[in-house]
Amino acid sequence: MKINILAIESSCDETSAAVISDGKILNNIIATQSVHEKYGGVVPELASRAHQLHLIPVIHEAIQSSGIDKSQLSAVAFTKGPGLMGSLLVGVSFAKSFAYALGIPLIEINHMQAHILAHFIDDPKPKFPFICLTVSGGHTQLVLVEDYLTMKVIGETMDDAVGEAFDKSAKLLGLPYPGGPLIDKYAKEGNPKAFAFPVSDMPGLNFSFSGIKTAVLYFLRDRLKEDPEFITKNLNDICASVQYTLIKMLMQKLKRAAKEYQINEIAIAGGVSANFGLRNELQLVADIERWNIYIPKFEYCTDNAAMIAMAAHFKYLNKEFSGLDVVPEARMKL
C-alpha cells in the first residue's frame, strides 16, 4: 500500500498544502498573503486571519489535483514550529481535526528541518554528511546533516537573521515589502564595491547581522544630508554593495565550517537561498574549493508544503507520530 501524506505549512505568511506519495511530491499549492505589503512587514494577526481564509481552498485543491481521495491518505503532517503562534495554530488545529476524523496518524514537522530536507525532493541529492547553510527572514544557521532526521546546528546568528538584514536595508531605501528580492534585483545592475560596509566576524561559526543594518542607516542618513536624491541616483550600487557584504559574511563562515568539518558536500536552503547573488557566489566558491553544491528549485526555497511533505515521509518511515495533544512552538529548536 502506498504512503500518501497530506502536508500543511502555515508558519508565517504563506498558506500551503501538498500531497506526497511514496516519497514523490504530487503538487505544491501556495496561497500568498498580499495584505502585509502596505505595512512593510508581516502583521501576525492579519497573517492568522488570512490562513483561516486560505487553508480550506488550498487543501481542497491539493487533494483534488493529486488524484488521491482523502480516504487513501496515510497521515496528515503540519508545521509545528518555529513561526508565528497564531499562524501555526491555524495549521495545527486543522491537521489534528482532519487526522482525527480520518483515523490516521499525525506528524509534526520542524520548519527548519523541512527546509533542509527540501533537497531530497529532486535530483541531485546531497550525500551524508553534508553542511547546509539555512538562510531566511527569521533564521541563519549552519547545520551538520548526518542523516534525514539527525541534524546539529554548528553555527547561528547571535542577533538578526540575514533575511531580516536584507528586508530592513530595503526598507531604509524606501523599497516595498518584501524588500530582499528587490535588493537582489537592483544589485544585478550595480557595482558591489561602490560603497564599503563593515563585515562582522563573530567567534567560531556564529553570525551577527545587526551591525550592518545600523551601518546602512547611518550611511544613508549622512549621504542624504549632502544630496536628497542620493538613493535615487545610486540605488543599484547601494543594493549591490549591501548584498555583497551580507553574502561575504555568509560565505566566510560556510568556508570555515567546511574546512573545520572536512566536508565538501554543501547545500543552502531557506528563503534567502533564492537570492541570485548568493547562488552565483556559492558556485564561484564551490569551483575554487571543489565543493559539491546543492540548491533547491526556487519554489522549494521559500515557505512551502512540499518540504513539509518530504520531511513527513521520512518521519512516517521512522514511525514518528504525534498525539492529538500536540501544540505549536513559536521558538522551536532544530
Cell of 60: 481542497
Map residue 281 onto helix, strand or coil.
helix
Answer yes or no: is 323 a known binding residue: no
Burial of 81 by CB count in 10 Å (0-12 exposed, 13-18 middle, 19+ buried)? buried
Residues 239 and 173 sit within 8 Å (Cβ to Cβ): yes
Q: Is 41 annotated as a binding residue?
A: no
Residue 111 marked ligand-binding: yes
- For residue 31, give the DSSP letter: E
Please indicate if the annotation marks 180 as binding a ligand.
Answer: yes
184 is an annotated ligand-binding site residue = yes
271 known member of a binding site: no
**135 has binding-site annotation:** yes
Q: Which pairing describes strands 75-81 and 106-110: parallel, antiparallel, or unpaired? A: parallel
138 vs 81, 167, 284, 293, CA distance in Å? 12, 11, 26, 23
Each residue of 298-314: b (16+ CB within 10 Å) or e?
A: eebbbbbbbbbbbbbbb
User: What is the Cα–Cα distance from 115 to 97, expressed in whole angstroms?
Assistant: 25
For the chain, percent helix, then strand, then coil, each to nearest 5?
Answer: 50, 20, 35
227 is an annotated ligand-binding site residue:
no
Q: Establish whether 134 is an annotated binding residue.
A: yes
β-strands 24-25, 4-9: how paired? unpaired
Residue 123 in marked binding region = no
Residue numbering of the annotated binding site for Fe cation: 111, 115, 303
Residue numbering of the annotated binding site: 111, 115, 134-138, 167, 180, 184, 275, 303
Residue numbering of the annotated binding site for substrate: 134-138, 167, 180, 184, 275
